[in-house]
Structure 1
Amino acid sequence: MRSPLSLFPLYSLLSLSGGLTPNDNSPPLKYANHIFNAIQDSMRQWGSSLHHNGVSFFLATVPAGTQLYHGTSKSSPVNGTEWLAFEPEHAMVFARPRRGPPPGAPPPGDDHDDPERPEGRHGELRRREPRGPDGRHTDAWPDNFGEDDAGYLHTYVAAEDLRLLYVDGMSAAKTSKGTLDSQDILLFNGSVGDRPDGGPAGENERARLACEMAENEWGGRIDGLLRMEAGFEIILCAFERDLTLLRITQVKPQDKDEFGPKGGHEHGGREGRKQDNDGKRRGPGGPPRGGPGRGPNSSRWMRAVTARYHGIGGNRVSLNYDHFVTAFSYDVDLFQDESGLPRLGHLSRSELEAIRRDITTLITTHDATEKSKDWQVIADMVVTRYSKDLSYFVSGKINSMEALQAEIERVMSPYIDYSDRNDVVEAQRCATQFLPPHSLDSESLAAHSVYSVAHSICSKLLEADKGTDFESAVQILRDLVDYLDWTTWKECRGCAPDELCVVPIWPMGTVQDYESPSCKNASNPYDQDGESYWGGMRH
């Protein structure tokens, strides 16, 4: 999509110092580092879990023939709108018998206006109502398992290329931290309301609104939404049109305790969870009803999820990086509190409408299947080139200015002409190392963002190298590391085969898991005390 004219001055970006060319004095792009990270994190469980408040929208394609999975209590094929998982273990969590409601109460997730699907058109893969109509936790309701009750795993293949709108970050997470801002505030214009029975704002409503937008506002050019929580998922608007059924298999019956912690809570069972005097939740960072819980079910799902930390794999999803929309490219302040998380709720109606219009323009003027430059692999080259060195430079293991200068020169020497030293030229050579020729001549936001971040790195390395005070030079590099905020610096090292690197993935995880991800036993990766990272579910 062509960038809005009002944004053109911003695209000339340059980082913390410098311009697109040595003579360019245009102002920098305000959030170049965040745009870079949105590109690098896209379709990756790890980066999207740490940078969980996504505010970017990409056209995505899932190629024909890709296998996708749906978990349900029904042995008949799905028609209409439902959820799909990329990993069978993800869908299998929801391949289970229906649980009964309290006497006289409707089942959670019911769509009363759909007589053909009494459990709700979108209820099977998204059974996430944490409380019943009487305010009780749903896992306290009796489980009505009949002898013939079973769960089923449906395996489908995409009949044709699926055209999707990818909402980045952890956009399927039902939190009050801002993970839903890009949908509820921006796409759906605040029209998703709380459920009258006391449950969280309905996923059914999001699916309905998304599919209405796809048909009415976007001219049928989008088949559904692509999102992430503990795994990537698709809200697909027309199963019968876009999928071919491969098989339906009955899954092994599971003990009811495997569905989630006994006593169910939106962040773990009531047993073992307490509140300290500060009012913060303590105890296992567990799931709500419908989450992975503990035991074999949890381990199976989380092993599959963490296998996709660094990419969905298999070319199962391709994104258009040449044309996308991100709130980070607009001249608005997205960081208005101390959380350090981007939020959209404070933006004016006109600011939100400008972004919403550009999403519509993106979808209606560009085909999801058109070829584009893979700017993610270029961003990866920048990260892999400098991540380890920058981490070393600020680690405290270098103890003198001379040693730091020697290390910086090692990194920068390919860009230096020792017969004619010129910092501006050297930074430019360094910043353009991985860029395709003439890429900065275009209006590509990805190109300019990658260049901006690379130029920040190169110019700050040169600035630190020229310093005379060791502590001041190291502080320049610390500030650079803070600015870059690469998720590679939180990756675990050396996890054993029976361990997982644990980071908060809604609805599980603690504050400690976010600040210092660590290796945990795969059989119970989230079974530990600590303050829940996510707090309460959004209600």
Structure 2
Amino acid sequence: MPLSPSTLLCLTASTFITPTVSSSLPANANHIFNAIHSSMRQWGSSLNHNGMSFFLATVPEGTQLYHGDWRSEPIQGPEWLAFEAEHALVFTHPMPHHPPPEEGKPGPQPPPPSLQHEPQDSQQVIGRPDRSQAEDGFLHTFAAAKDLRLLYVDGMSAGKTDNGTMDSQDRILFRDGLGEGEGMRDEQKRAELFCQIVNDRWSGRLDGMLRMEAGFEIILCDFSSLEVLQVARVRPSKQGKPGGDIGMHAGQMWLPAVASRYWKIGGDRVALNYDHFVTAYDGAYELDLFPDTESDGNVTRHPRLEHIPSSELEPLRQDLDALIQTHEASESSTNWQAVADMVVDRYGARLHYLASSQASTLQQLQEEIEDIVTPFIDYDQRNTSLEVERCSRQFVRRSMPVRTVAGDAVLSVSRSVCTTLLQALCHTEYDSIVDQIQGLMEYLDWTTWKDCRGCGDHEICLIPMWPMGTVEDYNHPQCRDISQLDGHGPRYWGGRPPRPKPDPLHSDL
């Protein structure tokens, strides 16, 4: 049987690659890469909802922000701002069946009626205290009067859950200072404590904190850094149905607006410093972020900090203090997310194709792989080590600081992709190639592989975004009409949720 062209090509190589995908790579390089790729993106931050990283962020002067309230009086702060008006509108209407709290004490803020099937632990939505008998409220529209300096806590860090969404801020930022359970339920105290830390520990170097739930939000310490553009009474509720127009149909307005930010916050409204940030994934901390060792083969785990002794987190806390005290959110920084985007864009669909058995023969697989790596091969003088370097550095400019946490992670993940492809090119068994590509995809765990693709104009690809969503929405996101967004089955935020093992053959990519 004659040798295939790809096999002959492998035999001409002067050096061969021997390491596996997982060897010789920095600890958690894949997780750091994904944190960078998903930062300030609703989609990836919803799927990888237990964020482990802190970034300095800037919201440019002039950016419009929104606050929903039952009052029209000037807002002083600490208070919440939304990037999308529809997000803020949720908090402008009274909610039925909830008596007002005692004057001066924060009361429960339930979700709109369409969301009240969510578990009780998920029903504290941030905002002003509820007044069930109040009139419909006001939408406050602001513009940033200066560049806002923020601390971005990644993942779904505004999700009030016991799933780990608040681990990083409660254990690292607030240093276990909120008490048992209180940190999950008392958002006003959280905001006040953050602003106290800004003043007492960080000499006022920040204006607020940036987080995400179903939509991105800012906890702003002082509203004097905003210009008031408008305070407008919102559309009235239907008679006899408090919250009728906004509450009962919140999903039809809120979720599509949020889903439009799945892949970018848009309009350069937020800039992150990727050259200097702090992440629990950094191998220097040697933290056991995935403590559960048992798996049923269909479930992988989200990272947690709840089990780690406080003393082991102290170096991370000190580094967070140093980050804020020695760096500016607005200082020049390499856009490592743009590099990560190019890597995912170039290889995501191609890896999915290789793992999907759509190429039915060994020769087709080898030809497809060679098409991917051929720009990096000198066919007169094969050297796979040089080919890996050419491939992995394709999108990394020489001036980029690769000896940073971000640079190291992005380059390492690129190298793992290139190494695997050049190894797979030399395999002579079909199943061996597919297995190796699927193993790479499991390691990479790119969130793009869960995208529905091809949703209609009146549909969104629904995934759990606190406080909404089901386990099925997480395991198998589907296009759903915006008038029928309520899913069926167990609610995702009802307890510690399962996270399925990546299935490269499931997506319609």
Aligned to 2:218, the other structure's residue is in SS state: strand
Q: What residue number does 2:500 align with?
A: none
Moved more, 331-340 or 302-311: 331-340
Matched to 2:230, the amino acid is: R
Q: What 5-or-longer segments of structure 2 have no aligned partner?
A: 1-17, 498-509
How many angstroms apart in 2 are the aligned matches of 1:182 and 1:368? 20
Question: 5 Å matches for 1:478-517?
Answer: 478-517=438-477
- Structure 2 counterpart of 1:333: 288
Give the alignment of 1:87-486 within 5 angstroms.
87-97=84-94, 102=99, 106-107=101-102, 111-112=104-105, 144-145=132-133, 149-193=135-179, 201-239=185-223, 241-255=224-238, 259=243, 295-329=248-282, 330-337=285-292, 338=295, 339-439=300-400, 442-486=402-446
Cα distance in 2 for partners of 1:89, 1:392 equals: 38
Q: 1:236 and 1:89 mapped to 2: Cα distance?
A: 19
Letter in 1 for 2:336: W
Q: Give, in angstroms, the shift of residue 409 of structure 1.
A: 0.2
The letter for the 1-side match of 2:30 is N
8 Å contact kept, 1:258–1:297: no
User: Retained in 2: the 8 A contact 1:73–1:98?
Assistant: no
> In the TM superposition, what whole-angstrom CA distance separates every residue of 1:398-423 from its partner, at most 9, and x where no partner exists?
22222111110000000001111111
In the alignment, the residues of structure 1 paired with residue 244 and residue 309 of structure 2 have an alpha-carbon distance, to the nearest angstrom, of 40
| Structure 1 gap segments, 5+ residues each | 1-14, 20-24, 113-118, 262-291
Is the aligned partner of 1:523 residue 2:478? no
The Cα of 1:396 is off from its aligned counterpart by 1.5
Mapped to 1, the partners of 2:51 and 2:69 lie a distance apart of 29
User: CA 1:259/1:52 → structure 2, altered by over 3 Å: closer, same or farther?
Assistant: farther
Alignment correspondent of 2:31: 34
Q: Deviations over 1:443-492 (max 9, x none)?
A: 32111111000000000011111112211121111000011111111111
* Alpha carbons 2:149, 2:208 under 8 Å: kept: yes
Structure 1 residues 426 and 171: alpha-carbon distance in aligned structure 2, compared to 1, 3 A threshold: same
Amino acid at match of 1:483: Y
CA deviation profile, 1:270-309 (whole Å, cap 9, x unmatched): xxxxxxxxxxxxxxxxxxxxxx86x432201111000111
Q: Tell me, yes or no, if the aligned pair for 1:192 and 1:201 is still in contact at 8 Å.
A: no
Q: Once the 2 structures are TM-superposed, how far is the Cα of residue 438 of structure 1 from its aligned partner?
A: 4.6
CA contact (8 A) 1:126 1:203 kept: no
Distance 2:496 2:78 in 1: 24
Give the distance between the partners of 1:215 and 1:232, measured in 2 at CA: 24
**Compared with structure 1, are the counterparts of its residues 258 and 402 closer, same or farther at alpha carbon in structure 2 (3 Å cutoff)?**
farther
Would the aligned equivalents of 2:95 and 2:242 in 1 still touch at CA under 8 Å? no
Q: 1:375, 1:447 within 8 Å by CA — same for their partners in 2? A: yes
Listed one character per residue, the Cα deviations across residues 245-278 of structure 1 (whole Å, up to 9, x for unaligned) are 11100001224767599xxxxxxxxxxxxxxxxx
SS in 2 for 1:439: coil
Q: CA deviation at 1:62?
A: 0.4
Measure the CA separation in 1 of the matches of 2:286 and 2:184. 32
SS at match of 2:494: coil
How far, CA to CA, are the matches of 1:368 and 1:125 in structure 2? 35
Q: Give the aligned partner of residue 534 of structure 1.
A: 493
The 3 A distance-change label for structure 1 pair 493 and 100 is: closer
Q: Can you list the C-alpha shifts for 1:28-47, whole angstroms capped at 9, x where unaligned? A: 31100110011110001011
Count residues with an aligned counterpart: 463
CA shift for structure 1 position 96: 1.8
Q: Percent identity?
A: 49
Counterpart in 1 of 2:83?
Answer: 86
Q: Does the Cα contact within 8 Å between 1:71 and 1:124 map onto a contact in 2?
A: no
Amino acid at match of 1:214: V
TM-score calculated relative to the size of structure 1: 0.80
Conservation of the 8 A alpha-carbon contact between 1:99 and 1:143: no
Aligned equivalents of 2:427, 2:164: Cα separation in 1: 41
Whether contact under 8 Å (2:167, 2:304) holds in the other structure is: yes
For the Cα contact (< 8 Å) 2:393–2:411, is it kept in 1? yes
Residues 93-148 of structure 1 show CA distances to partners (whole Å, capped at 9, x for unaligned) of: 0012476854xx735xx754xxxxxx58xx889999999xxx9x999xx98436xx
Alpha carbons of structure 1 residues 81 and 173: separation in structure 2 relative to 1, 3 Å: same
| Aligned mates of 1:260, 1:229 — CA distance in 2 | 23
SS in 2 for 1:233: strand
Quickly say closer, same or farther: Cα 1:202–1:130, change in 2 above 3 A. Answer: farther
Tell me the secondary structure at the aligned position of residue 534 of structure 1.
Answer: helix
Q: 1:467 to 1:432 in 2, by over 3 A?
A: same
Residues 156 and 213, structure 2, Cα contact 8 Å, conserved in 1: yes
Residues 260 and 216 of structure 1, relative CA distance in 2, 3 Å threshold: farther
Q: Take 2:184 and 2:409, find their aligned partners in 1: how far apart are those partners?
A: 37
In 2, Cα distance between equivalents of 1:478 and 1:537 = 27
Q: 1:143 to 1:42 in 2, by over 3 A?
A: closer
Letter in 1 for 2:260: A
